[in-house]
Every structure is written in structure tokens, then in C-alpha cells.
Amino acid sequence: MKTATINGKAASTAKTATQNACKLCNPLGACLAFRGIEKCVPFLHGSQGCATYIRRYLISHYKEPIDIASSNFNEETAVFGGSHNLQLGLKNVTRQYKPEVIGIATTCLSETIGDDVPMILKEYKAVMGNDAPLPVMIFASTPSYSGTHIDGFHAAVRSAVATLAEGTPKKNLVNIFPGMISPADIRYLKEILNAFGVPFVLLPDYSQTLDGGPWAEYHRIPPGGTPTHAIANTGGASASIEFGSTLEARKSAAGYLEEKFGVPRRSLPLPIGIKASDRFFAELERLTEKPMPEIHEDERRRLVDAYADGHKYVFGKRAILYGEEDLVISMAAFLHEIGVLPVLCASGGKSGLMKKRLLELIPDLEERGINVRENVDFVDIEHEADELRPDLLIGNSKGFTMSKKHELPLIRIGFPIHDRFGGQRLHHLGYRGTQELFDRIVNTLIEGRQNSSSIGYTYM
């Protein structure tokens, strides 16, 4: 039995089972990343349910059609291996979707029976390759019994690069691997890189595939995504920028490119808050040898001004943060720089690196009473909320149960946002994203004050 302790008191809740998980399974992340490659269909090697549940979960956030194929295991498949079903499935998906890429990810089932997917793909290519050019096949091993959705996401991105990148001579090109961010964040990053005038490859780019326009006819694969030829170029880039404090080089796309082709890897925390955004922009200035474009200087100036205008509303407030480790770490640093105390930084992930990385950004973390917890679920978080007396919850919409029960305002960020509209259009990154987050935090606190006052102030 794990014993949760907070302020020296042992928790009395059941600890062996995970209750109201604060994480999702590995293959979900892979499917999401594959959605950011042009003309790619995600394909799960496992039971039909995995594909369907993950589709449903993603659709409820992105409000876009998300087709994920499945090799649809049956009892025979589980006994004799999934080779036949996988090959038949690839054939059918190719016929029905005419993809250029098929992104294949495993599940707990195919991993447990020990299917050797790369071998099966080799066999498939040998049999089918003579007829017509086959789609590119990108394979990620994503057993649901290890890691969380974020591991699947990075595994898919790394595999895309490992499959497609070529060692071309160095070009004036920057790779950017932003991790699991919103479509709006992706569009904003592209805007920044365009403003610097630097050629870049951003992977994965689901800014259009998961947040696109209306259709005159059904698109088997929605338009948008990083093209395969662009991914091929990543091997010849002058550098890779990769977001993610806990993302290790051996698991990341930039890590692969550095090792294989000597493309320098610049690992940064997700740029949330002024300091982290400054670091990101400084990196771009260094790589491009150009100053920050005026429009972004302007955005930064407005943000600094907003911090001044809003500082009194937020100072000393206590927040509980939860979600993917990298998001939580960057959000904590941002809260720290505006005077909000992130009393609990919690994640269902367990990289073992969270506290270390947070200490790099907030060295006096412990003196300030900031608790860092990996591998927790919502019941753990709720339990700690009783002790920590927060003013705010910040995280995805699965914290709503806790928010309602404890009458705490919830500021929805990240994924999933299933109970509000427009989660795909929220900004989190850079000066613009920070501005949006800051405005939302301030307004939430103002609203709380206004509503709880009997006077009914119309100026706050």
C-alpha cells in the first residue's frame, strides 16, 4: 500500500487501485501525434475498443472527425498472433483511405502476446510492395501498461523522424518539436517562426487536421499536417528546439536527430510565462541571428503591463496544478512569477524528474511549501486539497468533480477539455498564451470576489 502523506499526516484512502486517473493510456498520445502528419491514418494494433474509445475521447475535445483504424483482434488473433489481422487491416485502410502514411501503434494486447510488428510490416512490404507504392509505415511501440499518453505521443514523433529523416547537408532550417500542445498554440508557434523568417519543420502539426474548416465533401483524411518530405529534411536542420522539461533525449525526436545526424538539440521547458518565453525567443534570436520581431516585442510589453495591472488580484493566491508533467512544471514557474503559490504540482505521470526540474525553475520550492507529486490520481489530489486550502484549481476538465465538491474555481487548460467549448483554440504558450492565461486567472478571481460580495460592485 502506498502511503500518501501530506504535512506528516497519513492518508486513509485506498491506494492500490487508481481512482479517477489523472492520465490516459499510451496509444492515445500516439494517435494524436499521427494526426499531425500529412495524409496519415492512425492505426491501432489491438482490440476494436481501443480505437473507438480513443476516437471518442479525442473527438469530445477537438470536435473534429478522427478516424483511427484497428486490426480488430478476435480470439484466434490473440492465440495465433496478429500478423494476419494487421496485414488485412493495412490493406483495407490503404484501399479505403488512400493514405501516404499509416501510423501504427501497439496496445497492451498486441504487446502482451508479443507480436513483432516491425517483422510483420517487413513481411507485408515484401508481399505487397510489388503491386504499387505502399504508404510509409511509421511504427510506435505503445503498451498501455507502461507510461502514459504523453509517452505514446513522444514515441510516435520520434518514430516518425527515425523512419523518415535523411542525413542531408546542413541547411538553414530549424526543427521544432513542441510536444502535446493545442492547435491554437501550434498556429501561434508557426506565426512566430515565420516572423523570424526562418525555414522550419514543426512536428506534429495538427493545427488544421484537428481544428479545420467546413467540408464540401467528406475528407477521408483531413487536410493539413506535417508533410513527409518536410520530416525527411529534419536530419539536415541546423538545430532542433524541443519543449518538455522531463522529456529525455533517448525518448525524443530531437534526441534521435542529435545522435544520428548531429543536429544540436535545444531542450526547453514549454514556454509559459515571461521568463520561459524569453528563453524561447532568445533561442530563436540566437539560431536566426535576428532580433525578436517588433510584433512579439509588443506582445511582451503588453503582457508586462498586464502583470502590473493585475498583480493585486493574484498575489498570494494558492493553486493546485495537475496534468502532464511538462505542462505542470511550466505552469508552476509561470504562477511563481506572478505571485501565485502552486501549493500542489501533481501529475499521473512518473518520470521521476518532476521535482528536479521544478527546483531548477523555483529553487526555494520547499521553503515556499510547494508540494510535488508524481503518479497520483484525482482522489489523491482531492485528499490533499483538504489540507492545502487552495483558491484555485488549474488543469484539464477532469478536475471538475473536485472543483464542484470543494467549491473551487477551475481554470481549464491543456487536454482534455470535455466540458467547455473551444479547448482546441486556447493559447498557453509564449507571450500571447501567457496573456490569455493571465487574463483568465485574474478574471476568475475577480468573478469569485464579485459573486461572493453582497454589495454588487460594478467596478472591480
Partner 1 sequence: MKEEIGILEGRQHQVFEKKSGEEQQFDIACDKTSLSGSVSQRACVFCGSRVVLYPVADAIHIVHGPIGCAAYTWDIRGAVSSGPELHRLSFSTDLQEMDVIYGGEKKLYRSLIELIDQYKPNAAFIYSTCIIGLIGDDIDAVCRKVAQEKGIPVMPVHSEGFKGTKKDGYKAACSALMKLIGTGSTEGISKCSINILGEFNLAGEAWIIREYYEKMGIEVVATMTGDGRIDAIRRSHGVSLNVVQCSGSMTSLAKEMEEKYGIPYIRVSYFGFEDMSKSLYDVAALFPERPEIMEKAREIVRDEIRKYYPEMQKFKGALSGKKAAIYVGGAFKTFSLIKALRTIGMSVVLAGSQTGNKDDYLRLKEMCDEGTVIVDDSNPVELSKFVLEKEADLLIGGVKERPIAFKLGVGFCDHNHERKIPLAGFVGMYNFAKEVYESVMSPVWQFAPRKGGLA
In the range 60-89, which residues lie near partner 1 by CB under 8 A? 60, 63-75, 77-78, 85-86, 88-89
Q: Which is nearer to partner 1, 300 or 398 (CB)?
A: 398
Q: Which is nearer to partner 1, 99 or 179 (CB)?
A: 99
The least CB distance from residue 150 to partner 1, in Å, is 13
Give the DSSP H/E element, type plus range, for residue 358: helix 354-361
Of residues 400-429, which lie at the interface with partner 1 (CB under 8 A)? Answer: 401
The least CB distance from residue 58 to partner 1, in Å, is 10
Q: Which is nearer to partner 1, 57 or 256 (CB)?
A: 57
The C-alpha cell at 19 is 481512482
DSSP-assigned states of every residue in 317-356: -EEEEESSHHHHHHHHHHHHHHT-EEEEEE-S---S-HHH
Q: Which is nearer to partner 1, 258 or 382 (CB)?
A: 382
Instruction: Report the distance separating Cα 214 and Cα 224, nearest Å.
Output: 13
Instruction: Report the distance separating Cα 408 and Cα 389, nearest Å.
Output: 10
Please work out the total of residues on this chain that contact partner 1, with binding judged by CB under 8 A.
77
Q: Select the residue interacting with partner 1 from 16, 451, 452, 458 (CB under 8 A).
A: 16
Of residues 314-343, which lie at the interface with partner 1 (CB under 8 A)? Answer: none
The least CB distance from residue 251 to partner 1, in Å, is 16
Q: Does 52 bind partner 1 (CB under 8 A)?
A: yes
**Cβ atoms of 26 and 146 closer than 8 Å:** yes
Question: Beta strands 5-6 and 9-10: pairing type?
Answer: antiparallel
Q: Which is nearer to partner 1, 26 or 240 (CB)?
A: 26
Instruction: Report the distance separating Cα 102 and Cα 138, nearest Å.
Output: 6
The helix/strand/coil state of 207 is: coil
Identity at 147, one-letter amino acid code: G
Q: Select the residue interacting with partner 1 from 30, 37, 90, 338 (CB under 8 A).
A: 90
The C-alpha cell at 159 is 518514430
Q: Which is nearer to partner 1, 53 or 339 (CB)?
A: 53
In the chain the first and final C-alpha atoms are separated, in Å, by 49
Stretch that binds partner 1, among 55-63, 234-242, 247-255, 407-415 (CB under 8 A): 55-63
**Cβ atoms of 42 and 29 closer than 8 Å:** no
Q: Phi and psi dihedrals of 370, rounded to 5? A: -90, 120
- Tell me the residue ranges of DSSP E strands in 163-300: 174-177, 200-202, 239-243, 265-268
Cα atoms in the 13 Å half-sphere on the side-chain side of 199: 11
Stretch that binds partner 1, among 211-219, 266-274, 327-335, 407-415 (CB under 8 A): 211-219
**Cβ atoms of 108 and 53 closer than 8 Å:** no
Of residues 366-395, which lie at the interface with partner 1 (CB under 8 A)? Answer: none
Q: For the window 175-194, what string marks contact with partner 1 as x by the rule CB under 8 A?
A: --------------------
Q: Does 113 bind partner 1 (CB under 8 A)?
A: yes
Q: Select the residue interacting with partner 1 from 30, 33, 51, 408 (CB under 8 A).
A: 51
Instruction: Report the distance separating Cα 323 and Cα 67, nearest Å.
Output: 26
Strands across the sheet with 392-395, in order?
Answer: 371-373, 341-346, 318-322, 392-395, 410-412
Stretch that binds partner 1, among 53-61, 179-187, 307-315, 436-444 (CB under 8 A): 53-61
Q: Which is nearer to partner 1, 100 or 258 (CB)?
A: 100
Question: Beta strands 371-373 and 341-346: pairing type?
Answer: parallel
The least CB distance from residue 192 to partner 1, in Å, is 28
Burial class (CB in 10 A: 0-12, 13-18, 19+), 1: exposed
The least CB distance from residue 183 to partner 1, in Å, is 14
Q: Select the residue interacting with partner 1 from 213, 454, 456, 457 (CB under 8 A).
A: 213
Q: For the window 277-316, what string marks contact with partner 1 as x by the rule CB under 8 A?
A: ----------------------------------------
The least CB distance from residue 216 to partner 1, in Å, is 4
Q: Does 28 bind partner 1 (CB under 8 A)?
A: yes
Number of C-beta neighbours around residue 330 at 10 A: 28
Q: Which is nearer to partner 1, 209 or 444 (CB)?
A: 209
Q: Does 25 bind partner 1 (CB under 8 A)?
A: yes
Q: Does 55 bind partner 1 (CB under 8 A)?
A: yes
Of residues 143-162, which lie at the interface with partner 1 (CB under 8 A)? Answer: 143-146, 148
Instruction: Report the distance separating Cα 239 and Cα 201, nearest Å.
Output: 11
In eight-state DSSP terms, residue 226 is B
Q: Does 13 bind partner 1 (CB under 8 A)?
A: yes
Q: Select the residue interacting with partner 1 from 4, 6, 53, 359 (CB under 8 A).
A: 53
